[in-house]
Amino acid sequence: MNRRWLGWAALGLAVAATVAFVPPLLLPGEGGSAGLSPAPPSPSAFWVSLHAADEANLRSGARAIDCASCDGGRRVGYIGGPNTLAIRVAGVPTAGERTLLIVYETQDPRTLKVAVGDGPVHALSLAGAGDYLIPARTSLTVFVPAGTSWIRFFNDAGDAPDINRIELR
């Protein structure tokens, strides 16, 4: 009987501690009994994840390739020389510097050039994971104007890595 009483006491203590130290869960649109409401998003808060193989993107010579290990099951390859990829980013609330994360695949070291709209060209020397089936990631800071813009991926001097997806934060 003592063991059972100890078990119930421990459970009661755990529930009391949880109530005392864990804030209540408030779902969007609920005021909750605590009178808390979610903070409004910052006007500059913006995050988007886009797949390179999306049909809305512009590919000049580059083409979508099936890829079992890629997000979304496809990536865009054959970028380089005259072949380019441009990914449309819409709904950016305010202009400013953002972090661009690029998920790519390459077997050999390659150079990737990136430009947002008519902005400066960023040249990245990427080694990758040494295999087209192993995604790698890199990031850089870019200036993104408010509204809609295009992020171009190219290498006019040689082959570029394949692009799987991007995130813009």
Contacts of 130 (CB under 8 A, 6+ apart): 107
CATH number of 48-168: 2.60.120.260
Q: How many CB atoms lie within 10 A of CB 91?
A: 9
The structure's pTM equals: 0.72
pLDDT in tens, 143-160: 999 999 999 999 999 999
The token pair that represents 100 in the structure block: 């661009």
Taking the alpha carbons of 19, 25, 49, 44 in that order, is the dihedral positive or negative? negative
Rounded to the nearest angstrom, the gap between the alpha carbon of residue 97 and the centroid of all alpha carbons in its chain is 15
- CATH 2.60.120.260 intervals, the chain: 48-168
pLDDT in tens, 56-89: 888 999 999 999 988 889 999 999 999 999 999 9
